[in-house]
Copies of this chain bind each other. A is one copy, B any other.
């Protein structure tokens, strides 16, 4: 049977998580491989998810006073080199343009891996007085990082993202902005992607090249691995000094600006897959699902069925994103396809339903089947979608909680990570040496120093010296 084949073609996640992930990506038509190594093609269904992410995030950015701009995709080598730490972090992984047409360029240009240097160069030209501050800019674009190994959505040579870049009069305002945008990110993951996160600060070792402080939201995948879902950086006045971005304050004194940047990428789609999906395919939170309801006419050749399905679609289109599948595929194939694509609700309507003024509603999560009267189908559908949004969050939260552990020594740390991988909370002395040693021993990296600190023990889990802070550790994507 065709529909059976479609379903059994997915590797189960218990058998091979990596293969299951790739299967979902391909079978749900999210993306395809391109002829350039490590690049991907975002297919209509995958891109539609990105459009919903973009649409909602963009609204949240605008509500917090940000404006969109567009910077060039090329950065001259000399500009990239202006901030020492930044160039050291990025130069090894950029693509270099050396020729324009048939001519060799006098100076190489890199394809932007991130745009701090371009924004700084622009800010230097447009910021003069305290009246010009703050500048709250954001950009939607693609960036390029020459990665050795790649995986769809998680790590690709080119990816789509947004990068916020702001300039402020004072250090306090820059810090406020950094935290504000981290909270916007966390709220977006909570409310739209139904993904709970750990908020915290990166260690010195893990922070962004050129930043004073990097904050992060970390999420936990099905397989117990951590995924960094978004970061927000406070640059202090480091870039401003390197680029000479100064303004005249109210007392007519020259001051350096304080800057931030923050970004989220198409890797969020990878997170959606690895947090919510199952062995039948993709599972999408309703708020981010391109199609929220798929109507499937049953015995569609019987008189009146297609008409009833169309009428139902017409009604539902006023309250949700709905489609009808009236193709000549078998019902079983259609059900399997709806599940594979993670469409939250399936609504079946056939001759007997029409007779009884009803339809059958089946949820993607748990396959709960309900017979619903057509009288108030709009309310029933909206309630079911809201419930699924909430249930998905609760399920993900329960998984994160049941996979977060405390460890007081390395034996416990290693045992936990091997037996039931997840987040490990453990105390840390603050030395990079211990961070390196833990990574060597266990493969886990410091994900962040969470804002919600607890006193687990007095000493560092690694060296036994007095502990300074609690760190959340985990193996990461």
Report A78-133 residues with CB < 8 Å from chain B CB: 79, 91-102, 109, 111, 118, 121-122, 125-126
Answer yes or no: A303 CB below 8 A from chain B CBs: no
Known: A76-B35, A158-B72. A111 touches B97 (CB 8 A): yes
Kindly specify which of A38-46, A222-230, A280-288, A379-387 makes contact with the partner chain. A38-46
Check if B94 sits within 8 Å of A95, measured CB to CB: no
CB neighbours (8 Å) of A74 from chain B are 36, 39, 95, 157-158
Task: Give how many copies assemble into the complex.
Answer: 2
Answer yes or no: A184 CB below 8 A from chain B CBs: no
Query: What is the bound-complex CA distance between A321 and B32, given in angstroms?
Result: 40
Q: Report the minimum CB–CB distance from A92 to chain B (whole Å).
A: 5
Question: How many of chain A's residues touch chain B, expressed as a range?
Answer: 35 or more
Check if A100 sits within 8 Å of B95, measured CB to CB: yes
Check if A98 sits within 8 Å of B99, measured CB to CB: yes
Kindly specify which of A141-149, A255-263, A332-340, A415-423 makes contact with the partner chain. A141-149
Check if A96 sits within 8 Å of B93, measured CB to CB: no
Answer yes or no: A48 CB below 8 A from chain B CBs: yes
Answer yes or no: A188 CB below 8 A from chain B CBs: no
Report A2-37 residues with CB < 8 Å from chain B CB: 32, 34-36
CB neighbours (8 Å) of A71 from chain B are 34, 41
CB neighbours (8 Å) of A47 from chain B are 67-70
Check if A41 sits within 8 Å of B68, measured CB to CB: no
Answer yes or no: A354 CB below 8 A from chain B CBs: no
Check if A125 sits within 8 Å of B73, measured CB to CB: no
Check if A109 sits within 8 Å of B36, measured CB to CB: yes
Known: A95-B99, A101-B94, A121-B35. A73 touches B126 (CB 8 A): no
Please give me the residue from chain B that is nearest to A106 by CB atom: B37
Check if B97 sits within 8 Å of A101, measured CB to CB: no
Check if B76 sits within 8 Å of A36, measured CB to CB: yes
Most B CB contacts (10 A, CB to CB) among A34, A48, A158 go to A34
Query: What is the bound-complex CA distance between A126 and B71, given in angstroms?
Result: 34
Query: What is the bound-complex CA distance between A70 and B99, given in angstroms?
Result: 25
CB neighbours (8 Å) of A36 from chain B are 72, 74-76, 109
Q: Report the minimum CB–CB distance from A324 to chain B (whole Å).
A: 15
Answer yes or no: A160 CB below 8 A from chain B CBs: yes
Q: Give a binary string over A134-172; 1 marks a CB under 8 Å from any B CB, 0 the rest.
A: 000100011010100000000001101000000000000
CB neighbours (8 Å) of A69 from chain B are 41-44, 47
Please give me the residue from chain B that is nearest to A71 by CB atom: B41
Check if B96 sits within 8 Å of A97, measured CB to CB: yes
Query: What is the bound-complex CA distance between A157 and B75, given in angstroms?
Result: 13
Q: Report the minimum CB–CB distance from A160 to chain B (whole Å).
A: 6
Contact of A97 among B50, B70, B95, B121 (CB under 8 A): B95
Q: Report the minimum CB–CB distance from A59 to chain B (whole Å).
A: 12
Answer yes or no: A314 CB below 8 A from chain B CBs: no
CB neighbours (8 Å) of A118 from chain B are 34-35, 41
Q: Report the minimum CB–CB distance from A333 to chain B (whole Å).
A: 13
Contact of A73 among B70, B96, B121, B158 (CB under 8 A): B158
CB neighbours (8 Å) of A50 from chain B are 70
Check if B32 sits within 8 Å of A122, measured CB to CB: yes
Can you give 22 A-B contacts (C-beta < 8 A)? A34-B121, A35-B118, A36-B72, A39-B74, A41-B69, A41-B70, A41-B71, A42-B70, A44-B67, A47-B69, A48-B68, A70-B160, A73-B111, A73-B142, A74-B95, A92-B101, A92-B102, A94-B101, A95-B100, A96-B98, A98-B99, A101-B146
Interface on A for B, CB 8 Å cutoff?
32, 34-36, 39-44, 47-48, 50-51, 67-76, 79, 91-102, 109, 111, 118, 121-122, 125-126, 137, 141-142, 144, 146, 157-158, 160
**Closest 3 interchain pairs by CB?**
A39-B72, A44-B67, A100-B146
Instruction: List 16 extra interface pairs beyond A36-B76, A72-B157, A95-B99, CB under 8 A.
Output: A34-B72, A34-B121, A34-B122, A36-B75, A47-B68, A47-B69, A50-B70, A73-B111, A94-B101, A95-B97, A95-B100, A96-B97, A96-B100, A97-B98, A98-B99, A101-B146
